Structure 1
Amino acid sequence: MSITIEEISTITAKGQTTVPKAVRQALGVDYGGRIAFRVSDGGVTIARADGDEDPIIETFLGFLAADIKAHPQAIKALSPELAARIASLTDDMAVNLDDEIGGDAAL
């Protein structure tokens, strides 16, 4: 049996709101914690944002998925020439996929 919590919060002129205490407790977040808003056709859900999630990447991947679904005929393999050119431009680059990406990014 699940428990439903409904709380109402007012949005300020600056677009800010307070996450009610009962919701923060249910999500297991406190001061400095992060939450994720997920908007879909069915409405909005709020979840605790675990450290590995990146809203920019999630938004981009969602865009790609929708575009591929809408235009599957546009997916084409790289030409051998383009693949070789990309390889030649990146041959001397050391890449660590676990490194942080620097710079500012905003939705």
Structure 2
Amino acid sequence: MATTLEAESTLTARYQTTVPETVRRALQLSKRDKIHYHIRANGEVVLTRAEPADGDDPVLAAFLGFLERDLANHPERLQAVDAGLVERLQGLVGDVEIDLNEALPDEDE
């Protein structure tokens, strides 16, 4: 027999609520994740973790999540970028022109 977990939360005056920890764990939710609501005819609502849209990159999202956690847990590791590094980077890419709206070649897709 499967274990059933229950939780409840309160709506604020602006109809907002905090997702209870048990629900976040069960759905493996992290900050900025999306929740999908399925409302059944009898009024029952089923929450699931929303699948990323076609344009979302799950690898990039995982990497950005890792960076977010690492920065939050170890702010002492942050360092300013010094002028020498900026100058070296400009020397490498300063003359490169990029059209962000241009489609990638087929071999780069």
Q: Whose Rg is larger?
A: 2
TM-score between both structures, scaled by the size of structure 2: 0.48
TM-score between both structures, scaled by the size of structure 1: 0.48
Specify which structure has the bigger relative contact order, considering alpha-carbon pairs within 8 angstroms and separated by 6 or more residues.
Answer: 1
